[in-house]
Amino acid sequence: MIIDCHGHYTTEPKDLLRWRKDQVDNVKEPAKQPAKASLKVSDDEIRESLEGAQLKLQRERGTDMTIFSPRAMGMSHHIGDYNVSLAWSQLCNEMIHRVCALYPNNFIGVCQLPQSPGVSPDSCIGELERCVKEFRFVGCNLNPDPSGGHWTAPPLTDRWWYKLYEKMVELDVPAMVHVSASCNPCFHGTGAHYINADTTAFMQLIMADLFKDFPTLKLIIPHGGGAVPFHWGRYRGLAINNKRPPLDEMMKNNVWFDTCVYHQPGIDLLTKVVPIDNILFASEMVGAVRGKDPQTGYDFDDTKRYIDGAQGLSGDDKKKIFEGNVLRAYPRLKSKLSARTAARR
């Protein structure tokens, strides 16, 4: 089975975007905020939004299932206050739940958290519990920088985050460490802010003992781990200089990188330097880079091709990347897949 651990609803129905615009336009006037009931999206509109995009690409590229979450750029936790973020997150998560209900063999949900700058992550616990217990989602997206490029939150290893981590461990769900839009003009959203955040998160993990406090906490760092694989020697050296554990020991059962790397040399490097047990297949489709690579004639985000073509990977290595590792990173996924298999019999 080929499981894509990183998909976003980037083709969402137009009325969801209309609702968000109404919310943002009235962000300073709570009385004018749109009611949830004002969102009008039919099941047919959801089907239409997926059939010509994610579902079509799944079929064409030979993937089986996508771990699916709301549009990452759209989370925009820097907009408004906590109540704005909560209403928006709930609506987006409910939309993902509807997608998964319509296509249970193609999508499994991951939730957006209602983070807000300066607000304790404890405030996200209620929505996380709702999504895991009621919607049976298997994880969450955790924004390490709700300020949108100004980095006002404490490092991910700070105790400020601990109650949320305690709940994640209790629920047995991982977090993908994923920033949202950048409101800092110095940082392009997908080209700089995303990669900055991935790299920053990994360095924070190197320098602290988070996994001594939470030995079963699981974090996925997307976009191939940012700059880390290319500078693997730098981070190994920094770990040694600071008397920290070796990188593979630190990552072991707690940290994974995904394969949202959009060229063959990048995947070749990733699979050579990062432990195979800590790599998850992902494409981010329909994602940050759209269209065909003129050098190959294939879509940039057709990442399965790169895994298939990576030299030095054995059949067992590819099976780990495509399926085995994701079942370790997302413990609830295995039981959901087993239940679906039993239901088909």
The residues carrying an active-site annotation are 284
130, 87 contact by CB (below 8 A): no
Cα distances from 172 to residues 132, 181, 333, in angstroms, run 10, 28, 10
Q: What are the b/e assignments for 200-216, b being 16+ CB within 10 Å?
A: bbbbbbbebebbeebee
What three-state secondary structure class fits 67? strand
Instruction: Enter the tokens of residue 58.
Output: 């799944």
227, 199 contact by CB (below 8 A): yes
Tell me the pairing of strands 175-177 and 140-142. Answer: parallel
Contacts for 207 with CB less than 8 Å, ≥ 6 apart: 157, 242, 244
Q: In angstroms, how far is CA 195 from the centroid of its own chain? A: 13
